[in-house]
Structure formats: C-alpha cells, structure tokens
Amino acid sequence: MPEVRAANRSLEVAPASNLLDNLLAAGIAVPYSCRAGSCHACLVRCVNGQLLDAKPDALDAARREQGWRLACQCRVVEDVQVEVFDPLRDATPALIHSCDWLSADVLRLRLTPQRPLRYSAGQHLQLWTANGIARPYSLASLPGDDAWLEFHLDCRQGGAFATEARAFQPGASVRLGELRGAALHYDADWQTRPLWLLAAGTGLAPLYGLLREALRQEHQGAIRVIHLAHDSSAHYLAEPLQALAASHPQVQVELVVAAELSAALAELRLVSRQTIALLCGHPDSVDTFARRLYLAGLPRSQIFADVFLPHAR
C-alpha cells in the first residue's frame, strides 16, 4: 500500500487511487471545483516521490518543474509527500477596489493587486477568498487601460464562493492564484477579418475585454456580438455594448434570451469563410454555438472556445 504524507500526516491508500479523494477522505482541506483539471483549485506540490498524472499538460512547464500537480488528476502509485497550495504563502495579495451589482445576479468585482499583473485579454485567474475558497474567473478588464482587474461573478446558482462574494466590501483582501487561458485571444493578424463573439451568461466577461482589445487595435472587419441570457434582465452589459456599437459602425450587438436562441442561430449566415469566432460560457451553450457555426460552414480551426465548467458539489 503506498503512503501519502501531507499536512503532517501519513496515509496508507489504495494503489492507483485518486490523490484528491484520498486527501479529502482524510479530512485534509483541499479546495476543488471542476474535478476536470480545468479550474486548478486543487493544486498540490509534490515534494518527494512521483504521481501518475492524467493531464501533465494542464500546468505549464515552470509550474511542473516546481513540483506542482493537480490533485484531481493524479493517482498514487508509490510513496509520496505533497504540500497543499497555501494561498497565504503561494498566491498574490490583492485588495477589493469596488464591488457592485450589474444585474440581480451578476456582481462586478474590481481588484487592485499588490504588484502589477501582466495579462492578456481573454485570460482567467484563480481567486481565493480570505476563508480559502477558490474559483477561477475570467478577466473582463483590458490590460493597460484599466487600473484594476475586473471580474463578473454569476451568483445566480449560489455556491460557497458566491455566498462569500455577496458580502465582499471595498478594502477587503483576496488572493490571486495562477493566471491561465490562451484559447480566447485577439490576434493582430485578424484585423480585417469578420469577428464573431458569442457568449452565454457571464461568458460575456472575457469577450467584453476582447471586444475592447480588438477596437483598441483598430479592428477593421465587422464585429458581431451575440449575448445569450436566461431572460432580458440578465443582459447585464447591454448599455456598455450598445454604447460601443453606437461609436463603432463595424460593431453589431444582438441580445438573445433562451427562448429565442434556436431561431437566432438558425438565421446565422456567414458573410466570409475568413470569419473568426470566439465562444464562451456554459459547456452546453458553447457546444450549441460551435455546432451551428460549423454547420454554417465555418472551419473548426477558426472557432476558439472557453467553457465555464459547473462546480463539483
């Protein structure tokens, strides 16, 4: 039976059993969310021994060299010693600049990090509350133009992080974990190509940043923004989007509710096979968007997507 040493404890575990399951069963606090290797909440550092890693490419080379692994993706095949990610030690401090409600369910959170953060529009960060609850959130801010990091938190479904977020106050502390994300980006080579941005819910957050990035780089092609919401009150960026459309003739904004989605997608027609599509939101919505675009004739290589995986319960 292999042995796992963690948090000053030694655990005998079944061969090839999941590391996260073993740590949680022993009462060792490890935050986790998606269990799919996407959210990176369950980071641990392997101090001694080796783990069987199902997703070695989920972390960048520098992180892996330092011994970091995702507990949800690792199986224990020999004696190992691990350290659980400690946000007080391993994450970057930040202060809440402001927090306000953009709709009944969407909280806009603006943070000021202790040290400048280099990022690109479309990336996402792990956020940690003072009580050690972690969730990944996409950046809605634009690097260089905004004095803060901006996130749009969907609090409609509840959850531990959302519950704490409802009580956030300016000046309070949070922590910033790993910066990730490369699928959603803006490439200067796309400047003359049609650009479609399709978002569901707060999947609009990174696309709002990318829309502004494209305009900052003087994108010349037509830009079409489609935002899917469960009802009209949930189009939480309707006014800023319409303001951008009013000041930039190449921008078209369509606000769609769930009951209208099938009809709206059926009307999609490609003007050019050079179109680039950026998709973000719940996996079901992103899959629906992607299938319709592919059937409309858009090559898969021109469809870039990021999904917001449901939190494990």
Residue 303 phi, psi dihedral angles, 5° rounding = -115, 120
CATH of the domain at 30: 3.10.20.30
The pTM for the full model equals 0.87
The pLDDT, as a whole number, for residue 310 is 65
CB 197 within 8 A of CB 224: yes
| Residue 313 pLDDT grade (very low, low, confident, very high; cuts 50, 70, 90) | very low
State which of 67, 85, 103 marks the end of a domain. Answer: 85
CB 50 within 8 A of CB 77: yes
Separation between Cα atoms, residue 70 and residue 88, nearest integer Å: 19
* Same domain (yes/no): 102, 22: no
Mean pLDDT (whole number) for 225-238: 97
State which of 85, 111, 127 marks the end of a domain. Answer: 85
Question: Does residue 313 fall inside a structural domain?
Answer: no
What pLDDT, in 10s, does the model give residues 46-86?
A: 999 999 999 998 888 888 999 999 999 999 999 999 999 88
Lowest mean pLDDT among 194-198, 231-235, 264-268: 264-268
Sign of CA dihedral 260, 138, 159, 59: positive
What pLDDT, in 10s, does the model give residues 128-171?
A: 998 888 888 999 999 998 899 999 999 998 888 999 999 999 99
CATH of the domain at 117: 2.40.30.10
> Across the chain, what does the average pLDDT equal?
93
Question: Does residue 135 fall inside a structural domain?
Answer: yes
The DSSP 8-state label assigned to residue 19 in this structure reads H
* Same domain (yes/no): 198, 283: yes
Question: Does residue 31 fall inside a structural domain?
Answer: yes
The three-class DSSP label of residue 234 is helix
Residue type for 22, please? N
Nearest 5 degrees, angle CA 256-CA 160-CA 230?
Answer: 10
Instruction: State yes or no: pLDDT of 174 exceeds 70.
Output: yes
Identify any residues that bridge with 227 across adjacent strands, giving them in sequence order.
199, 255
| Residue 213 pLDDT grade (very low, low, confident, very high; cuts 50, 70, 90) | very high
**Domain that residue 45 falls in:** 3-85
Residue type for 88, please? L
Joined tokens for residue 100: 């306000």
